[in-house]
Amino acid sequence: MHITCFDFSGIYETLYEDFSPAAEGPSFLFREKGDKITDLSNKRYLIKCSELKGTNAYCDPEAEEELRRRISCVPDMPQGIHFLDNGNYHYMSALITEQIKIPYVLLLIDHHPDFRPPAFGEVLSCGSWVLRALRTQPLLRRVVMAGVDEQLFYEEGADEVNVILAKSSGASSLPASVLQLLPAELPVFLSIDKDVLSTEEVRTNWDQGRMRVAELLELVETVCKNRQVIGADICGEPAQADATLEFCPSCVFGGAGESCAERSVAVNAALLHALRSVSDKR
């Protein structure tokens, strides 16, 4: 399972020491140093996007086409695990999932439904990408949302026939409720925004939910063990200005004295382990 990081804000800058420009290929494509693996499924890529204009929260048409070109340079898209920077770039999920060539279900784990009609015509945005995907991808058969604020879900009109909000109840946990809504015969693409997590767990650049890391990991592992997951993306890094700030030492996940960026990396590592360990057993 290959891993791709799309770096818009510079938050992944520390990773550059582990990567080098591809010997053959475009200047924005970086491969892991010393990479001699011939199996593409085990490669790591870093796609530099920080010089692109018109990408912050809203993606203008010119940037959208350029991002499609950059996505196409990564083999086997949309398979693998894709890191998308902070929540302003969650719209990348729409561009990645449009590469899927078979009927599928989108599982969105997020504090926001990302279902608002675009504010500027049909310009793709971090707040409208799910609506865009439903309107433009006939192979997207259903969207299941978990962790989404219920009030936002209805305010944004996400209660369409093909969009379902999963809820826990006294008789059913959230993972069990999600499984019931994911048709067993359809593969799943998993999109995670870490703003679903409590501010006691991680800091993002958006308002956040109340989920704990352990609950998120249980949900991810349950889905991966019981459904075919064809790919996943993860966003919700801290804003670059907050990256070096010390995180709340009372947080139960990780150690005291971590920076916001270090805490975010720790959560990424836990998610990556959950996704890869389950995938490796399939």
Q: Which two tokens stand for residue 30?
A: 């970086």
Report the topology of domain 59-281. Arginase; Chain A (3.40.800)
Q: What is each CA distance from 8 to 12, 20, 236, 259, in whole angstroms?
A: 9, 17, 12, 20
Count of beta carbons in the 10 Å neighbourhood of residue 101: 8
From first to last of its 282 residues, what are the pLDDT tens digits of the chain? 788 999 999 888 766 566 666 655 677 777 666 543 333 345 788 899 999 999 999 999 999 999 999 999 888 899 999 999 999 999 999 999 999 999 999 999 999 999 998 877 889 999 999 999 999 999 999 999 999 999 999 988 877 778 999 998 766 799 999 999 999 999 999 999 999 999 989 999 999 999 999 999 999 999 999 999 999 999 999 887 777 677 654 455 555 567 888 888 889 989 988 997 545 444
**Residue of 276, 173, 198, 184 whose CA lies nearest to 231:** 276
Query: In what helix (H) or strand (E) does residue 96 lie, and over which residues does it extend?
Result: helix 92-97
Share in percent of the chain as helix, strand, coil (round to 5): 35, 20, 45
CA gap 204, 275 in Å, rounded: 21
pTM of the model: 0.89
How far apart (Å, rounded) are the C-alpha atoms in residues 147 and 208?
Answer: 10
Q: Which residue has the tokens 């005291």?
A: 256
Cross-strand partners of 106: 143, 189
* The three-state (H, E, C) secondary structure of 16-78, written as one string: HHHEEECCCCCCCEEEECCCCCCCHHHCEEEEECCCCCCCCCEECHHHHHHHHHHHHCCCCCC
User: In whole angstroms, what is the distance from residue 199 CA to residue 210 CA?
Assistant: 8
